[in-house]
Amino acid sequence: MKTKTMIVLIVALSASAIPTASADEGMWLLTNPPRQQLQSRYGFTFSQQWLEHMQKSAVRFTGASGSLISPSGLVLTNHHVGRSAIGKLSSAEHDFIKNGFYAKSLDDELKCTDLTLDTLWSIKDVTKRIKSAATGDMTLSQANTARRQMMSAIEQESQDETGLLSQVVTLYNGGQYHLYSYKRYTDVRLVFAPEQQIAAFGGDIDNFEYPRYCADFSIFRIYEDGKPLKNEHYLRWSDTGAAENELAFIFGHPGRTSRLETVAQLEFTRDTSMPFDMAWLFRREVELQAFMGRSAEYNRIGQTRIKGVANGRKARVGMMGGLLDPELMRRKRDDEQRLRASFEGTSSADNPWDRVARAMQAYTSFYRQQAAINGVFRGGLTGYAMTLVRMAQELPKPSSERLREYRDTALPRIHQRLNSTAPIYDALEVDSLTSALIGLAWTYGADHPVVQTALGGRSPRARAEQLILGSSLKDVQVRRTLADGGWAAIEASDDPLIMLARSLESHTRELRTRYEDEVQAVQRQAYAQIAAARFALDGDSVYPDATGTLRLSYGPIADWEEMGKKIPSFTNIGGLYERAELRKGEQEFILPESWIKARSRLDPATPMNFICKGDVIGGNSGSPIVNAKGEVIGLVFDGNIHMLVGRYAYDERTNRTIAVDARLIKSALKNVYGTTRIINEINDASKTP
């Protein structure tokens, strides 16, 4: 198969007329799409029908995205989105994560244990009703409650009326409220999954990197009444695939952005919190590697932990790269200046930007200490100890006066955790606690009373051994007894971890209270004002921060520059085999047997992954990428490292979405896996007008 160019839309680099959103920025509401930008920049126009078709073909996974690709409920998403469901269908005998899965017939499709999918059926603006719920004589908190109650009422009303799952979405931090109604599907079956090795080829090493070579897709089917869904809306497959510079559209569910954050808060993140957190993660990653190097067993028990740490570290590296870009900060400052104008003349006490700045100043004075002491109680056993001590203190209070996580409604979760029989590994617990104690000493200074209490006269390592090996909190029964025994049991306990938690509880509580009062409360109020100021000024001419709901992003398929060289937009199957050869011997780069055998049947020139400018963030995984005709040309599965700063701002020079090319999916289904049935279904679906 050769890459042919069908419609290459010429990229007109004229400046956009939008005040703050530059270039191909934005996760746009489908109720307010960037018509003007698309027309002026790309000469692209679309009908309301086109948009509705896209909306109803998009599928919401929990925290992720997908799309319908046949009139019989076939759903395309990433392998990593479907991974948990695939894992739950696997057994020691049938490891579908490792070996992949293909249902040769409809009857072979495997029902997922708890996978729920939604399609967005209608959107309604309910701003007026919700805003009117709060009247001028209410306090801030009363107004909040009134609005919450109105939201619930509207949701209930809609659900009763339509039978659809109904959720009110708060946009622009309260500038608008929309009612989203979903068709919810609970019978979802696994149709196809490739082997994890090819879906996540390059593993954690390649995560957030580009060029990439991942077949990160999986296929499910929605059933209704025990039969494949009969759906009117679904995406056709492009015959020709994507081309360089072609305008591409992404429909998906970006989870959360914080693009309204003030410069003061961004500076706090850049100069204080993130450097501290990153230093902690860098250290932990190296420590865990050393730990895992000790034995095959340690290597096994450290896997999950190090993945989380490495992922968190990588995400922050990307964000930090952006935060340290003076140009990004300049743009933020300019935008803030513009908004601040509307508060001109207000006293600093009333100015929300100044209030956030002061809160950040306060937070700077104790952020590191709070993070460090919380680190000590984030371990498996130390976590149990602190939970037990806190629970004994909180339960005697009325529910509404307790710390949030100990209120009556939250207690089942606490008990579930305390009753967990998930394995606890002494060696890993000791390693984590040693690390946390070192971090504590570095942050407070080794002679600080908190550190002296924590160390109890020993070195971090010796103390961690003493505490972990000497504790009996590994035993569920011991935890139960302490939980049921109330404060008397906690006070009488000589378990070394309970004693540690007891002696440091008031200190950690004090820091938490300071955070809630001096930082969080100020932020909540101030950001509501800032959002209102922006909304008053720009209305909905800018997109709202992501909320995990359906959005449209757009931008051409385009390379970016690094080291003075262009990083090409497309990779191909030939490159996959080259990379596997180059990285021979590394676990992350081992090709599955199926791909080794299929090599002669595959055209090395077939595009594998590509990049485009569309603005995405976590939650967009599995989003379909379509061309101007609304045909599938790719599948979002990642962003490059520069995409990560997208939480705070979009930079079109370097921010890129990474996608699986639709041609790769078809080629793999046909030439590697011989899944005739699926290929036919996709082809037939694409033929229907």
**Cα gap 606→661, rounded to integer Å:** 9
Q: Are 647 and 258 in contact (CB under 8 A)?
A: yes
Q: Does 345 bind a copy of itself (CB under 8 A)?
A: no
- Is 324 a binding residue for a copy of itself by CB under 8 A? The answer is yes
Q: Does 380 bind a copy of itself (CB under 8 A)?
A: no
Which residues within the stretch 200-259 sit at the binding site for a copy of itself (CB under 8 A)? 205-206, 209
Residue 411 in contact with a copy of itself, rule: CB under 8 A: no
| Cβ distance to a copy of itself smaller for residue 110 or 292 | 292
Considering the complex, what minimum distance in angstroms separates the CB of residue 577 from a copy of itself? 14
Stated as kind and residue range, the H or E segment containing 419 is: none
CB of 131 to a copy of itself, least distance (A): 39
Phi-psi group of 145: left, alpha or beta (phi > 0 → left; psi -120 to 50 → alpha; rest → beta): alpha
- Enter the tokens of residue 240: 């020709």
Our finding on whether 577 is near a copy of itself (CB under 8 A) is no
Query: Measured between alpha carbons, how far is residue 563 from residues 111, 560, 567, 572, 654 in Å?
Result: 48, 10, 9, 22, 12
Does residue 567 interact with a copy of itself by CB under 8 A?
A: no
CB neighbours of residue 457 within 10 Å? 8
Show contacts with a copy of itself in window 440-479 (CB under 8 A): 441-442, 445-447, 452, 455, 457-462, 465, 469
Q: Which is nearer to a copy of itself, 504 or 678 (CB)?
A: 504
* Contact between 81 and a copy of itself per CB under 8 A: no
Q: How far is the CB of 558 from a copy of itself (least distance, A)?
A: 18
Q: Which range in 30-38, 144-152, 532-540, 582-590 contacts a copy of itself by CB under 8 A? A: 582-590
- Which span sits near a copy of itself by CB under 8 A: 90-98, 291-299, 389-397, 677-685? 291-299
Let me know: does 664 contact 272? Beta carbons within 8 Å: no
Nearer residue to a copy of itself within complex by CB, 204 or 239: 204
Task: Return the SS3 of 208.
Answer: coil
Which residue among 562, 593, 603, 684 contacts a copy of itself (CB under 8 A)?
A: 562
Among 295, 304, 419, 453, binds a copy of itself (CB under 8 A): 295
Site membership for a copy of itself, residue 307 (CB under 8 A): no
Query: How far, in Å, CA of 319 to CA of 297, rounded?
Result: 34
Longest dimension (CA), the chain: 77
Among 339-347, 417-425, 436-444, 521-529, which window interacts with a copy of itself (CB under 8 A)? 436-444
Residues between 50 and 79 with contacts to a copy of itself, criterion CB under 8 A? none
Of 151-159, 188-196, 280-288, 340-348: span binding a copy of itself (CB under 8 A):
280-288
CB of 578 to a copy of itself, least distance (A): 10
* Measured distance between the N- and C-terminal CA atoms of the chain, rounded to whole angstroms: 24
Nearest to 325 by CA among 656, 652, 657: 652
CB of 456 to a copy of itself, least distance (A): 9
Rank residues 323 and 500 by Cβ distance to a copy of itself and give the closer one: 323
* CB-based contacts of 540, cutoff 8 Å, min separation 6: 29, 32, 172, 176
Q: What is the total count of residues that contact a copy of itself (CB under 8 A)?
A: 58
Alpha-carbon distance values, 315 to 207, 320, 589 (Å): 10, 9, 22
CB 15 within 8 A of CB 48: no
Residue 334 touches a copy of itself, criterion: CB under 8 A: no
Could you tell me which stretch among 58-66, 269-277, 386-394, 614-622 binds a copy of itself (CB under 8 A)? Answer: 269-277
Measured from the CB atom, the residue of 462 and 537 that comes closer to a copy of itself is 462
Q: Pick one of 339, 433, 438, 658: the residue that binds a copy of itself (CB under 8 A).
A: 438
Q: What's the min distance (Å) between Cβ of 582 and a copy of itself?
A: 4
Stretch that binds a copy of itself, among 2-10, 217-225, 271-279, 534-542 (CB under 8 A): 271-279
Q: How many CB atoms lie within 10 A of CB 465?
A: 17
Among 95, 244, 267, 540, binds a copy of itself (CB under 8 A): 267
Between CA 645 and CA 270 the distance in angstroms is 11
Q: By the 8 A CB rule, do 27 and 619 touch?
A: no
Let me know: does 414 contact 384? Beta carbons within 8 Å.
no
Q: Of the candidates 9, 146, 153, 278, which one interacts with a copy of itself according to CB under 8 A?
A: 278
- DSSP string covering 41-106, please? HH-----HHHHHHHHHHEEEETTEEEEE-STT-EEEE-HHHHHHHHHHH--SS--HHHH-EE-SSG
- Which of 12, 296, 349, 422 forms a contact with a copy of itself (CB under 8 A)? 296
Element (H, E) at 323: helix 296-323
Gap between the Cα atoms of 235 and 626, Å rounded: 8
Query: Does 326 contact a copy of itself by CB under 8 A?
Result: yes
- 23 sits in the region (left: phi over 0; alpha: psi -120 to 50; else beta) called left
DSSP label at 670?
Answer: I
Residue 564 in the binding site for a copy of itself (CB under 8 A): yes
Assess 285 for contact with a copy of itself (CB under 8 A).
yes
Phi, psi of 247 (to 5 degrees): -75, 130
Using alpha carbons, select from 315, 287, 303 the residue that is nearest to residue 207: 315
CB nearer to a copy of itself: pick between 184 and 461: 461
Q: Is 409 helix (H, G, I), strand (E, B) or coil?
A: helix
Residue 471: name the closest of 494, 454, 491, 504 by CA.
494
Least distance to a copy of itself, CB of residue 469, Å: 5
Is 303 one of the binding residues for a copy of itself (CB under 8 A)? no
Which distant-in-sequence residues (6+ apart) come within 8 Å of 33 by Cβ? 46, 51, 552
- State the nearest-atom distance from the C-beta of 452 to a copy of itself, in Å: 7
CA atoms within 13 A on the CB side of 304: 5
**Span interacting with a copy of itself, options 4-12, 56-64, 138-146, 324-332, rule CB under 8 A:** 324-332
In total, the chain counts a number of residues equal to 689
Q: How far is the CB of 258 from a copy of itself (least distance, A)?
A: 18
Contacts with a copy of itself by CB under 8 A lie at 205-206, 209, 267, 270-271, 275, 278-279, 282-283, 285-286, 290, 293-296, 313-314, 317, 320-329, 426-427, 430, 437-438, 441-442, 445-447, 452, 455, 457-462, 465, 469, 562-564, 582-583, 585, 587
